[in-house]
Amino acid sequence: MPDYPIIAIIDIGSNSIRLQVAQSLEKSYRIIQDYREILRLGDCVFSKGYIDGQTADLFYKNMEVINNLIQNHKATIIRAVGTAALRDAQNAYEIVKTTKERFGIDIEIISGKEEAYYNFLAVLYNFDIKNMNALTIDIGGGSSEIVISQKGELVDSYSTLLGCTRLKHEFLKKDPPSQSSIYAMKDFIEETLQNLDDINIDTIVATGGTLNNIAIMYYMSQNKKATSYAKYVPRSYVKSLINTLRRMKIDDIKKIKGVEEKRADIILPACMVIESIMNFYNVEGFYTFMGGLRTGLLIDTLNKIGLSFPFQTLDSDLKFSRLIELGNKFNFEEPHALCVNDLAKKLFEQLKQTLTLQDKDFALLEAACILHDIGTYISFSKHHMHSYYLITNSDLTGFSIKQKNMIATISYFHRGSLPNKSHKFYQSFSKKKKDKIKKLAAILRIADGLDRSHRSFVKDIKVSIEKDNIKIVAISSEDTFLEMKAANAKKNLLEKVTGKKVSII
């Protein structure tokens, strides 16, 4: 395996300072360190205009911790960026200079437009927005970066002064805030938004720690699992939250389930910004996910050293490129995975009527085909079990948790014993889903068998279905003795689900 570089990304925001250390892989990356401290540089900058001595000391202390982590991980590429707080701080130059002198780290102060672009890159990486008009927004401490895209192409970007720490300092001077200050803040937000393009927006994707915190609050209020990677928050919730928070003291806000203590004072401005955006574009909710600027910076940094991601190079949907990327993360054999997927597709098309499967079911089979062997990353022995574990514990963009579990289960059954009562994870599905898993796994088993040598010898498949028999003809110009043997050994599940005798020649 080639020696891929270790990259450290430092995001110095108005609210928090973050470090993410990642090991780059061929078409992916693996996060090996994540560090965050809520420093609130913006509190100082937006009230005084500069970073005072005490805050600067705290900043350097954190930079020291970050620098140690970077050294420990032997990162070879370090990229540190500063956003609104450093853009606005009168003594930013001094901070940048001292950081360089003390730690050898160069801080790049990026413009609002650049910030918007990196966020957009992170959204592109996480959401399938290729067929829609999307608005991506990062509500930070000092500014909000907004990108409008049409069919995945960036159309316009805006950097606005709608940062939640900035708004807090500008308007919310009393605790609880006065009614007039709330109205004035709303008025300011509305006026700022008048500059945006008035186009039809299908979806809003928001990033930033505070919005993610709002999403966690919503999920917890609904007794939903708050750890899911991507979350959806309805506008109605944000509206009612605004009307609750605006009358509360910060100490009381801190007691609300899910509120991150250090963000308690900036949740209300963040809610009001995102609600106004939803209102402006008449959208009934927003998506959010973990990541944002640092993800975009990581992608951009990897791009700059010549590594590109499947979502940037594959002419396919995001779901597929993320599957390839996940496979890469676990050093899968891409040609074998693609060959199995191709053969499975051919089998699926010819068997779907007999198996009463719908076209949309292929998405689950496709994911299982790509990922069925990733367990070999841990050990070849019982790798189907490892695949199951790795898939269930990965983020699969575009699939629900239930679908992810189905994909893992289909992958599990690509070899070894057939589904039975001893497989508790399998038994946890409904009868209908169990039936689907069995049928899709039956196809995967044969497709995998037909590439037993991992040399992609079988090029095509013809299936003929009779009353009691299914005949599968594998077309190849090579010697496929091994493939025939393996496929015939794995046809048992297909025979079981169809009740027909299967012959593979």
- Least CB distance to another protein at residue 195 (A): 13
Q: According to CB under 8 A, which residues from 71 to 130 bind another protein?
A: none
Q: According to CB under 8 A, which residues from 476 to 505 bind another protein?
A: none
Gap between the Cα atoms of 222 and 213, Å rounded? 14
Among 69, 154, 226, 242, binds another protein (CB under 8 A): 242
262 HSE (CA, 13 A, CB side): 12
Nearest to 32 by CA among 40, 44, 24, 43: 24
Stretch that binds another protein, among 107-115, 239-247, 328-336, 416-424 (CB under 8 A): 239-247
Nearest to 345 by CA among 365, 372, 317: 365
Hey, which residues does 233 pair with through a beta bridge? 286
- Least CB distance to another protein at residue 286 (A): 15
DSSP state letters, 219-283: HHHTT--TT-SEEEEEHHHHHHHHHHHTTS-HHHHTTSTT--GGGTTTHHHHHHHHHHHHHHHT-
Binding track over 256-275 against another protein, x by CB under 8 A = ----------------x--x
Q: Vertex 291, ends 288 and 296: CA angle to 5°? A: 115
- Least CB distance to another protein at residue 180 (A): 4
Among 94, 187, 197, 478, binds another protein (CB under 8 A): 187
Q: How far is CA 405 from CA 6, 166, 177, 290, 397, in A?
A: 31, 43, 46, 21, 13
Determine if 180 is a binding residue for another protein (CB under 8 A): yes
- Least CB distance to another protein at residue 189 (A): 9
Contact (CB, 8 A) for 306 and 253:
no
Hey, which residues does 227 pair with through a beta bridge? none
- Maximum distance among all alpha carbons in the chain? 84
| Integer-rounded Cα radius of gyration of the chain | 26
Residues in binding contact with another protein, number by CB under 8 A: 16
Stretch that binds another protein, among 185-193, 313-321, 330-338, 426-434 (CB under 8 A): 185-193
What torsion, rounded to 10 degrees, do the Cα atoms 367, 371, 372, 378 define?
-160
Cα first-last separation, the chain:
37
Among 68, 71, 179, 464, binds another protein (CB under 8 A): 179
Among 183, 232, 380, 425, binds another protein (CB under 8 A): 183
Determine if 434 is a binding residue for another protein (CB under 8 A): no
Of 25 and 272, which has the nearer Cβ to another protein?
Answer: 272
Of 247 and 501, which has the nearer Cβ to another protein?
Answer: 247
Contact (CB, 8 A) for 114 and 300:
no
Tokens of 190: 């509305």
Among 72, 243, 356, 379, binds another protein (CB under 8 A): 243
Determine if 184 is a binding residue for another protein (CB under 8 A): yes
Determine if 178 is a binding residue for another protein (CB under 8 A): yes
Stretch that binds another protein, among 60-68, 183-191, 294-302, 462-470 (CB under 8 A): 183-191
Of 47 and 279, which has the nearer Cβ to another protein?
Answer: 279
- Least CB distance to another protein at residue 313 (A): 43
Among 30, 36, 130, 186, binds another protein (CB under 8 A): 186
- Least CB distance to another protein at residue 268 (A): 12
Gap between the Cα atoms of 129 and 120, Å rounded? 11
Among 98, 150, 279, 492, binds another protein (CB under 8 A): 279
Can you list the alpha helix ranges (DSSP code H) found in 290-414? 293-304, 310-313, 318-329, 334-351, 362-371, 383-392, 401-412
195 HSE (CA, 13 A, CB side): 13
Of 246 and 415, which has the nearer Cβ to another protein?
Answer: 246
User: What's the gap between Cα 399 and its chain centre?
Assistant: 11
Among 30, 73, 130, 239, binds another protein (CB under 8 A): 239
Determine if 236 is a binding residue for another protein (CB under 8 A): no
Among 64, 175, 190, 479, binds another protein (CB under 8 A): 190
Of 243 and 356, which has the nearer Cβ to another protein?
Answer: 243
- Least CB distance to another protein at residue 276 (A): 8
- Give the binding site for another protein (CB under 8 A): 178-180, 182-184, 186-187, 190, 239, 242-243, 246, 272, 275, 279
